[in-house]
Amino acid sequence: MTKTPRSVCPVCLRPVPASHETVGDDTYLIKECPDHGAFRTVVWRGEPGFGQWARPKIPSPPRTPRTRADRGCPLDCGLCEAHRQHTCTAVLEVTWRCDLGCPVCFASSGTGAPADPSPEAVGHLLDHVIRASGLCNIQLSGGEPTVRQDLPHLIRLAKAKGFPFVQLNTNGLRIGSEQGYAARLAKAGLDSAFLQFDGTEDAAHVSLRGRPLLDAKLKAIAALSEAGIGVVLVPTVVPGVNDHDLGAILRLAADHSPGIRGVHFQPVSYFGRYPAAPGDSQRITLPELMRLLESQTGGAVAAHDFMPPGCEHSHCSFHANYLVTEDRELSKLSAGAPCDCTPRAAEDGACKAKAFVKRQWAQPEKSLPMAGDAPDDLDAFIARASRHTLAVSAMAFQDAWTLDLERLKGCCIHVVAPDGRLVPFCAYNLTAMNGETLYRGKS
Amino acid sequence: MSMIRIPEADVTGWQCKTCGEPLVRKPVELKYLDSLFNVELPVCPACNMVLIPESLAMGKMRQVEQLLEDK
């Protein structure tokens, strides 16, 4: 283990050296704090192996870094001059209020929330994003953004500033229950909804969100699809809660294609206050998700379909795209493409990911240019694949136990702090075991 | 067999430079990554060289490529 910090102590968040150790098929992050002892946490289980899951990138530092790399990662975020990837998505929290009180919440939203930022403040933050990162993709998040009555105004504001793709991170409750609301969001310019969706059975919703929500989610999917807003289902995957339901979630998504544009799985990570470290049995890793998707879809989705990301660090995610056939089966697109492992400029990957997300996660145009009287195989494929493509992906967020600073430096999802700094998502949400944050709520 | 429609101007008058044969329409399999497409294209009857007109390469084939390619 080198002396260079590569993680943090989960107790005091002090940067500490860390290394990966592979035992059998499993890989652990091990680290030691001089004050709080040693920690060992599983980060990868099984095939495809930790070492082979790689897509090297040549770092692309911010064009206009906001902060200097003085204290060392992860204490200088802003972005700092040593960051290695541009912004693909800027996450803007427009409220900290929420109409759900989930046991699992990144943002620790709910009661006692501070006042919402004013539309003027949101406008200034968007200007900060433009100066730092250009016209990247925007995700309006929270809290639950739909509790704000002026949400359509905020969407219009972002679009008027030129952001090409605006997505809403939502639980979908208001969208599913209020007639005409989705249409108002669509009219304001909303492209896509990142819909919290934990499973095809109410048990998962009850376990993770405290109440049965499946019916409300299905209503939200219908309302969003009808309004022309692309839907991405976002299940938080928790061992023993919904890890048996991944294939069924994909089938539900295929049944709702082209309204549902993608499924983006998020293995549970642990933010907030934890009196004891979460056990390894409470964690599920990316390769396990890949294999479960294969076994739960009867092989329609195969673990070897998935590719490491071209934008964020390789160990943060996987993805593959599928054509949804007339029979609602999934057929792999772009299979057989060998991974081009030549290191590429990170910013090229960010540009491609931005364009892909904009194209895939929004709803396609209703009318497409079709060939004349005799469409051929290419016409048929273009017509189907332009609309009925389902993107399947997963992203593993890092918490105080799993944080790998090499991954953090390559992060492309940046939260816009209230003072305009851009902070990599996992640093922004990082909490020590006692709930103390590094960035959230600190100015 | 379906056929890709090509403006007449793209096809008439083409002949294979190597064989000197006028091109004829023949079934062709286009393979890209793991996807296979059956189309009819102008082909040299002697050496089977296929002509892919620019309008096709820059049009539908490009569209298909974009749909198949990864981020």
- DSSP state letters, B18-32: TT-PBPEEEEEEEEE
Is residue A48, in this structure, part of any structural domain at all?
no
Contacts of B64 in chain A (CB under 8 A): 378, 381-382, 385
At A85, which CATH number? 3.20.20.70
B12 touches chain A (CB under 8 A): no
Say if residue B9's pLDDT is above 80: no
Q: With bands split at pLDDT 50, 70 and 90, how would you rate the model's confidence at B11?
A: low
| Percent of chain A whose predicted confidence (pLDDT) is above 90 | 83
Dump pLDDT digits (tens) for A372-391.
556 788 888 888 998 999 99
Say if residue B5's pLDDT is above 60: no
Neighbours of A367 (CB within 10 A): 6
Say if residue A105's pLDDT is above 80: no
Whole-number Å distance between alpha carbons of A205 and A398: 23
Say if residue A335's pLDDT is above 90: no
Residue of A386 and A141 predicted with greater confidence: A141
Looking at residue B2, its pLDDT comes to 46
Q: With bands split at pLDDT 50, 70 and 90, how would you rate the model's confidence at B40?
A: confident
Q: Which of A311, A371, A381 sits opposite B64 (nearest CB)?
A: A381
Looking at residue A374, its pLDDT comes to 64
Whole-number Å distance between alpha carbons of A335 and A428: 36
pLDDT mean over A42-48:
98
Q: Which of A332-346, A368-382, A421-435 has the highest mean pLDDT?
A: A421-435
Q: With bands split at pLDDT 50, 70 and 90, how would you rate the model's confidence at B4?
A: low
pLDDT mean over B29-45:
85
A378 touches chain B (CB under 8 A): yes
Contacts of A352 in chain B (CB under 8 A): 71
pLDDT mean over A154-178:
98
DSSP string, A172-231: -HHHHHSTTHHHHHHHHT--EEEEE---SSHHHHHHHHSS--HHHHHHHHHHHHHHT-EE
Interchain pair A389, B34: CB under 8 A: no
Looking at residue A425, its pLDDT comes to 98
Please identify among residues 43-62 of chain B the ones whose CB lies closer than 8 Å to any CB of chain A. Answer: 60-61
Contacts of B35 in chain A (CB under 8 A): 333, 381
| Residue type, position A215, single letter | D
Return the structure tokens found at A131.
């100066």
Looking at residue B68, its pLDDT comes to 81
Could you tell me if A344 and A150 are in contact, meaning their C-beta atoms sit under 8 angstroms apart? no
Contacts of B4 in chain A (CB under 8 A): 376, 378
pLDDT mean over B55-67:
87
> β-strands A389-395, A317-324: how paired?
antiparallel
DSSP A346: H
Residue located via tokens 């896509």 = A192
Single out the residue of A42, A48, A11 nearest to residue A29, CA to CA: A42
- Map residue A412 onto helix, strand or coil: coil
Neighbours of A337 (CB within 10 A): 14
Single out the residue of B65, B27, B9 nearest to residue A376, CA to CA: B27
B30 touches chain A (CB under 8 A): yes
- Map residue A132 onto helix, strand or coil: helix
Q: Which of B63, B67, B71 sits opposite A352 (nearest CB)?
A: B71
Q: With bands split at pLDDT 50, 70 and 90, how would you rate the model's confidence at A322?
A: very high
Contacts of B63 in chain A (CB under 8 A): 378, 382, 386
Is residue A3, in this structure, part of any structural domain at all?
no
| Percent of chain B whose predicted confidence (pLDDT) is above 70 | 82
Could you tell me if A277 and A10 are in contact, meaning their C-beta atoms sit under 8 angstroms apart? yes
Is residue A396, in this structure, part of any structural domain at all?
yes
Interchain pair A337, B38: CB under 8 A: no
The average confidence (pLDDT) of chain A is 93
Contacts of B38 in chain A (CB under 8 A): 377
Measured distance between the N- and C-terminal CA atoms of chain A, rounded to whole angstroms: 34
Contacts of A372 in chain B (CB under 8 A): 5
Q: Name the residue in chain A with its Cα closest to that of B1.
A: A376
Residue of A44 and B5 predicted with greater confidence: A44
Beta strands in A340-380, from DSSP E residues, in sequence order: 344-345
Say if residue A57's pLDDT is above 50: yes
Dump pLDDT digits (tens) for A18-38.
999 999 999 999 999 999 999
Is residue A292, in this structure, part of any structural domain at all?
yes
Could you tell me if A318 and A290 are in contact, meaning their C-beta atoms sit under 8 angstroms apart? yes
Interchain pair A381, B37: CB under 8 A: yes
Q: Name the residue in chain B with its Cα closest to that of A389.
A: B67
Query: Domain total for chain A?
Result: 1
Could you tell me if A270 and A430 are in contact, meaning their C-beta atoms sit under 8 angstroms apart? no
Helix, strand and coil in chain B, % to nearest 5: 25, 30, 45
Interchain pair A382, B64: CB under 8 A: yes
Say if residue B1's pLDDT is above 50: no
A339 touches chain B (CB under 8 A): no
Looking at residue B71, its pLDDT comes to 64
CA distance A313 to chain B (A): 14
A379 touches chain B (CB under 8 A): yes
CA distance B54 to chain A (A): 16
Is residue A221, in this structure, part of any structural domain at all?
yes
Whole-number Å distance between alpha carbons of A253 and A232: 9
Q: What is the CA radius of gyration of chain B?
A: 13
**Bridge partners, A392 (sequence order):** A263, A320
Is residue A1, in this structure, part of any structural domain at all?
no
Say if residue A285's pLDDT is above 50: yes
Range of A258's domain? Answer: 64-333+343-363+376-428
Is residue A19, in this structure, part of any structural domain at all?
no
Q: Name the residue in chain A with its Cα closest to that of B60.
A: A378
Could you tell me if B10 and B53 are in contact, meaning their C-beta atoms sit under 8 angstroms apart? yes
Looking at residue B13, its pLDDT comes to 81
Contacts of B53 in chain A (CB under 8 A): none
Best of A325, A359, A376, A395 to substitute, by most chain B Cβ atoms within 10 angstroms, is A376
Single out the residue of A287, A285, A343 nearest to residue A310, CA to CA: A343
- Domains, chain B, in order of start with CATH, read 8-68 (3.10.20)
Could you tell me if A95 and A81 are in contact, meaning their C-beta atoms sit under 8 angstroms apart? no
pLDDT mean over A60-67:
94
Residue located via tokens 């609301």 = A181
Is residue A405, in this structure, part of any structural domain at all?
yes
Residue of A86 and A3 predicted with greater confidence: A86
